[in-house]
Amino acid sequence: MYAQHAGTSSSSTGINMNINNRPVTSQLNKTQSSSQQDTSLQQSGQWKKGKWTSQEDQLLRDTVQEIGPDGVKDWLLVAKRVPNRSHKQCRERWTNHLCPQIRKQQWTEEEKRTLVKSWRKFSFQRNITK
């Protein structure tokens, strides 16, 4: 998976693969306690919802570059520097929209074959372990 920027490890997804820097599935939230904290803060109205401004995007880019240019692992630290946005919002904004390594073009036939082959392999392995 695209674990480098997602803040996840191969153990949290069960799959550790990289197909030309494409996030294959939605990201997993590893830290339940921080997620619960985010939920309570969001319910209190502290987190901003909706569209990100260009200033927020730039602040997120700068913060990611400063904290972890080779792959951020601590999204809670990033969120502390981006006002009114949760660690989950920051991680998702970066991994889905801002990360310069994410390709947004159509998948090639070779990439599609690699994805299907990997899915079959790991799906089969998962069924065996159940």
CA distances from 11 to 18, 71, 72, 109 (A): 14, 17, 17, 28
Give the chain's mean pLDDT.
74
Give residue 126's pLDDT. 64
Q: How far apart are CA 96 and CA 104, in angstroms?
A: 10
Tell me, yes or no, whether 99 lies in a domain: yes
- Quote the domain boundaries for residue 69: 3-32+52-129
- What is the per-residue pLDDT for 130? 56
pLDDT of amino acid 112: 94
pLDDT band at 24; cut points 50, 70, 90? very low
In this predicted structure, the answer to whether residue 116 has a pLDDT above a threshold of 80 is yes
Q: Is the model's pLDDT at 32 over the cut of 90?
A: no
CA gap 80, 84 in Å, rounded: 9
Residue 47 lies in a domain: no
Does 62 map to a domain? yes
Model confidence at 111: pLDDT above 80: yes
pTM, to two decimals: 0.53
Domains in the chain: how many in total?
1
Burial degree of 94 (CB within 10 A; 0-12, 13-18, 19+): buried
**Is 42 inside any structural domain?**
no
CATH classification of the domain holding 27: 1.10.10.60
Length of the chain: 130
